[in-house]
Amino acid sequence: ALAAQHDGRPGGRAIWMTSGQQLGPMSDNLAYAVSKAALAGATSSVAVDLAASGILLNTVNPGPVNTGYLDNAPEELLQAFPAGRPGEPDDPARLIAWLVSDDGAWVVGQVLNTEGGFQR
């Protein structure tokens, strides 16, 4: 459906967001884990189909990003990050900005984990 709406000009980009469930267990929320892992699993196949229409697809796993819900994160969670902090919205945003730029044009069909070294 997305490719059908594309006007055919080269340079289109699509970014799917996942959550890294393929990197470790999340047994307390199986439906969410399966849906996000499915995006990662389908990325390379869908990217080939979209590339034929001039659309470059990649998937980004931003890792734990503090959008307010981690303001009072316990110390044990913070220790899971080598930098001692979870991501901030600008952290994955910089990667996405690069992916959709001309500099990122050679990266296609990849799942990129930008988790700041998060240890599960």
Domains along the chain with CATH numbers: 2-113 (3.40.50.720)
69 catalytic? Reply is no
Q: Are residues 56 and 105 in contact, defined by beta-carbon separation less than 8 angstroms?
A: yes
DSSP state of 56: E
Tens-place pLDDT, residues 23-32 = 777 778 889 8
State the catalytic residue, choosing from 11, 29, 32, 67: 32
pTM of the model: 0.85
pLDDT at 22 over 80: no
Tens-place pLDDT, residues 95-117 = 999 999 999 999 999 999 999 88
User: What's the rounded Cα separation, in Å, for the pair 105 and 47?
Assistant: 13
Percent share of the chain, pLDDT over 90: 57
- Residue 64, classed as helix, strand or coil, is coil
